[in-house]
Structure 1
Amino acid sequence: MYRGFIHFFAFLEKKYPGQIALNELSRQDILDFIVYCDKAATEVKRKDANPNHFVRTNLFQLKVFLEYLERYEWKEAPTSPVSKLLFPDDIPRQIRRSGVKKN
């Protein structure tokens, strides 16, 4: 479950070297992370790689993490509500093996 954090914090470190402040996250940061995940997913070399699953997993784990910080009012929690940072439509739907999207 924690691999998504590795990608998210690597993204933040690349975007804001030496100054990761979760409480200052913006919607644009989330949109930039989605682009980062899309790019990283296409660079996976494994034969059985599933880019959709990679993006979905990273965004879902990020959402859960940020909601946890918000729910328990940690000082590191983003000042903007998580629902305003990461929209449900940002997370790709799961694709079944038959190729049909699952809700």
Structure 2
Amino acid sequence: MSDRVQRRLTVISEPNRFQIVELLRDGPRSVGAIVDALGLAQPHVSRHLRLLAEAGVVEATKQAQQRIYRLRPEAMRELSDWTRGFAALWSARMDRLGFFLAADDHRPDETKE
């Protein structure tokens, strides 16, 4: 799983692809709608979408003459699971810091005379 997560994070980290992911978070969109929203040339958007699709972040369906892109829930869930592990780590560290600070509050102040 780690290689897939790393690849997806690397692909999403490019600013234009990140914006595409943000747009698709609100729901599926056509290539034309993405082009209009980002103000990029259609070939550039198509290239970014291809890279996102190769990384498994998005998928496309064809409706008449349009390709409609959407986020792949499995990929987003995998990224969410990966980041959730860090949240638990930081929560535990913050708890330890809280205990340390609370214990420090009860120590006598050595600077007072």
TM-score normalised by L of structure 2? 0.29
Structure (1/2) with the larger helix percentage: 2
TM-score normalised by L of structure 1? 0.31
Higher relative contact order (CA 8 A, sep 6+): 1
Structure (1/2) with the larger strand percentage: 2
Higher Rg? 2
